[in-house]
């Protein structure tokens, strides 16, 4: 199983996004610089990384600027911002090396082709039957289950998946299926976030999120499910009729606190020549 975290992609995003990021929004005490806690909140938002702690933030700042706090006046200078963005790459590389769970996703993953045997054929059949109630005004003839292999995902301690949508371009994963294979002893809930979830919203400290993710998310309107082996969770990733909702069906895999969690993920996709919503997004 390969680690699911795409290191290079995250690094690229980091440099690009650091340069356009609104650091000043995180100066909660209006002191003119970002301390460890404020910088951690900024990093969680910048990287969609709910487990990024104040300690990580101080290490990041120190490696990037030689100081534990980040001065906003220093950041106002474009050259300094460019330096921060570049040095952040090295700092982030070190963090990922030692604490890979600090960024948006940490798990191990293997792709399983659908044609390997009867068991998977039976699973595909079951998914199709069970998804019928979700297919209001639609049918399987517009969707393809086997365009992507089944993904088997293993989360070890602190393994998690930050808020994300399974849908994307150019195809549209209209339905998501999650089959629980093994439940952890603690943590690892799957939480479906309320519509309109703000992806830069990571209001909780890393420690609280790690231990109490499901409770915290439920308190802001998420619906959370505890993994039960053999059970399946399925949901729709609906775009608005005008194609305007860009992050449909946002959800989270909460950090595993103890034990291991194993799941299998599958998607029924609408390819781009089917349906106007898909076409609206295809050119992006
Ligand atoms: O493991 C989970 O609970 C969610 C997995 C997931 O979101 C995915 O595979 O896209
Ligand atoms: Fe997902």
DSSP assignments along 140-184, one per residue: GGG-BSTTS-EEEEEE-TT-EEEEE-S--SSSEEEEEEEEEEE--
* pLDDT at site 167: 81
Q: Is 78 exposed, middle or buried (0-12, 13-18, 19+ CB in 10 A)?
A: exposed
From 6, 109, 177, 190, mutation site for ligand 1 pocket: most ligand atoms within 8 A of C-beta = 190
Q: Nearest ligand to the C-alpha of residue 266?
A: 1
* pLDDT at site 143: 80
pLDDT at residue 243 is higher than 70: no
Angle (nearest 5°) at CA 202 between 196 and 206? 150
**Could you tell me the residue ranges of all domains in the chain?**
2-102, 107-282
CA 93 remoteness from chain centre: 19
CATH class of 107-282: mainly beta
Residue nearest to atom 9 of ligand 1 (CA): 265
- Taking the C-alpha atoms of residue 153 and residue 107, their distance in angstroms, rounded to an integer, is 7
* pLDDT at site 206: 95
Chain segment 73-129, per-residue pLDDT in tens: 988 898 888 888 888 877 777 887 888 888 888 999 999 999 888 999 999 999 999
Residue percentage of the chain with pLDDT more than 70 = 87
* pLDDT at site 282: 42
Q: Is 202 or 231 the better-scoring residue by pLDDT?
A: 231
From 1, 110, 161, 235, mutation site for ligand 1 pocket: most ligand atoms within 8 A of C-beta = 161
Question: Which atom of ligand 1 is nearest to 227's Cα?
Answer: 3
pLDDT at residue 3 is higher than 90: no
When pLDDT is averaged across residues 232-245 and rounded to a whole number, the result is: 77
Q: Write out the H or E segment, with its range, that includes residue 187.
A: strand 186-187
Q: How far is the CA of 201 from the centre of ligand 1 (A)?
A: 19
When pLDDT is averaged across residues 277-283 and rounded to a whole number, the result is: 48
pLDDT at residue 272 is higher than 80: no
Question: Contact 256/153 with Cβ under 8 angstroms?
Answer: no
When pLDDT is averaged across residues 178-185 and rounded to a whole number, the result is: 98
Whether this model's ipTM surpasses 0.95 comes out as: yes
Ligand 1 interacting residues, C-beta cut-off 6 A: 153, 161, 166, 178, 190, 251, 253, 263, 265
Nearest to 87 by CA among 25, 5, 18, 8: 18
Count of residues in the chain: 284
Contacts of 57 (CB under 8 A, 6+ apart): 36, 37, 39, 40, 42, 43
Chain segment 4-61, per-residue pLDDT in tens: 766 666 666 666 677 788 889 999 999 999 998 999 999 898 888 999 999 988 888 8
User: Which pLDDT band, with edges at 50, 70 and 90, does 248 fall under?
Assistant: confident
From 4, 180, 227, 253, mutation site for ligand 1 pocket: most ligand atoms within 8 A of C-beta = 253
Q: How far is the CA of 178 from the centre of ligand 1 (A)?
A: 7
Q: How far is the CA of 166 from the centre of ligand 2 (A)?
A: 5
Helix pair 54-65, 78-98: axis angle to 10 deg: 130
Contacts of 5 (CB under 8 A, 6+ apart): 96, 100, 103, 104, 105, 106, 107
Question: Contact 61/68 with Cβ under 8 angstroms?
Answer: yes
pLDDT at residue 284 is higher than 50: no
């Amino acid at each position: 199983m390969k680690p699911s975290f795409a290191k290079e992609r995250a690094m690229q995003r980091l440099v690009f996004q650091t340069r356009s990021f609104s650091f000043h929004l995180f100066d909660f005490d209006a002191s003119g610089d970002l301390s460890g806690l404020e910088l951690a909140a900024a990093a969680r938002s910048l990287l969609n990384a709910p487990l990024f702690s104040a300690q990580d933030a101080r290490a990041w700042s120190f490696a990037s600027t030689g100081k534990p706090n980040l001065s906003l006046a220093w950041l106002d200078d474009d050259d300094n911002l460019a330096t921060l963005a570049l040095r952040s790459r090295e700092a982030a590389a070190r963090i990922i090396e030692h604490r890979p769970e600090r960024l948006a996703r940490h798990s191990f993953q293997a792709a399983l082709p659908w044609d390997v045997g009867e068991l998977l054929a039976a699973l595909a059949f079951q998914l199709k039957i069970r998804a019928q109630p979700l297919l209001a005004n639609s049918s399987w003839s517009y969707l393809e289950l086997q365009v992507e292999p089944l993904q088997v995902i293993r989360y070890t301690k602190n393994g998690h998946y930050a808020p994300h949508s399974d849908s994307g371009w150019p195809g549209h994963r209209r339905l998501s299926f999650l089959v629980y294979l093994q439940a952890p002893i603690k943590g690892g809930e799957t939480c479906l976030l309320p519509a309109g979830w703000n992806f830069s919203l990571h209001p909780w400290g890393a420690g609280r999120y790690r231990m109490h993710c499901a409770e915290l998310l439920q308190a802001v309107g998420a619906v959370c499910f505890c993994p039960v082996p053999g059970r399946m969770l399925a949901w729709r990733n609906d775009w608005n009729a005008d194609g305007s909702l860009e992050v449909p069906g946002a959800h989270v895999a909460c950090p595993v606190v103890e034990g291991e969690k194993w799941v299998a993920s599958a998607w029924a996709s609408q390819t781009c020549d089917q349906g106007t919503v898909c076409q609206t997004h295809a050119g992006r």
